[in-house]
Amino acid sequence: MIKQYSVDAFAEKVFHGNPAAVCILDAWLPDSVMRCIAAENNLSETAFAVGANGQYHLRWFTPCEEIDLCGHATLAAAFVLMNIYERSAQSVSFDTLSGLLTVRRDGELFAMDFPAFTLEKVLVTDAMEEAIGIRPTEAWLGRDLVCVLPTEFDVRTSVPDAEKTKFLPGLIFHTTACSDDTDYVLRSFAPKIGIAENPVCGSGNCHTAPLWADKLKKCILTAEQASARGGILHCTVDGERVELAGKAVLYAASELYIDERA
């Protein structure tokens, strides 16, 4: 029997932010079982953690595959561990495919230390315009493709063609623009890994926070993920690292009646 928690990350109340499932394990399950659990949950990510005493190994699975970095599921895992398993802990560390990630309490926020993605400016193409329905003013490529749109309104109202975005470079596809109410807005689309639109994408902000920090000449930024559920991220860019901070709320706790033979 496995304990699983459902957490809305980068949210102040349930039904907002980005939902993630978190499974706290005594030992690793076979990869095939973890993939099946993630597919059954059908959330953008399910996080699996093994460890104790503030030191954990953490892995993330979409409904289709394992990925190398996920911000909101890391926040969800830290929230569960520091509110249920280790209530006196002020920080937890995760050994991951993206290296060592540390999450600390910062008042009501949970602040995560993540690697910043290196971006290379690439040519804006007709394929990008056809996929978005609006021609970007700039395009940048790291692990993901980031397209800067002319206005915040364009980011909020555009309806990218999921099939056409599959043929663009990068793992995940982000649209972004400068914002009147926050420093920038962002939307994230990941049809290549089975996610039409990611409600809040932490790893996406590891692309866009450094980009906007350079453009706006400031290292502390506030970002709004302009999805239907929405979410606010507090970002601090420090060289090759990005600290992402946000709130989270527990939606549900459940028990999974499966074993490694599933």
**95 CB burial (10 A radius; 0-12, 13-18, 19+):** middle
Minimal CA–CA distance to 15: which of 152, 218, 200, 204?
200
Contact at 8 Å (CB) between 3 and 257?
A: no
**Secondary structure element (H or E) that encloses residue 153, with its range:** helix 152-157
Give the orientation angle of helix 202-216 with respect to helix 71-80, to 10 degrees. 120
How far is the C-alpha of 190 from the C-alpha of 174, rounded, in Å?
9
Distance of CA 122 to the CA centre of its chain: 23
197 counts as catalytic: no
How far is the C-alpha of 139 from the C-alpha of 46, rounded, in Å?
30
Minimal CA–CA distance to 201: which of 180, 170, 167?
170
Catalytic residue, candidates 12, 40, 45, 224: 45
For residue 24, give Cα distances in angstroms to 3, 35, 185: 6, 15, 33
Task: Give the chain's length.
Answer: 262
What three-state secondary structure class fits 173?
strand
How far is the C-alpha of 54 from the C-alpha of 91, rounded, in Å?
7
How far is the C-alpha of 85 from the C-alpha of 64, rounded, in Å?
29
| Residues classed as catalytic | 45
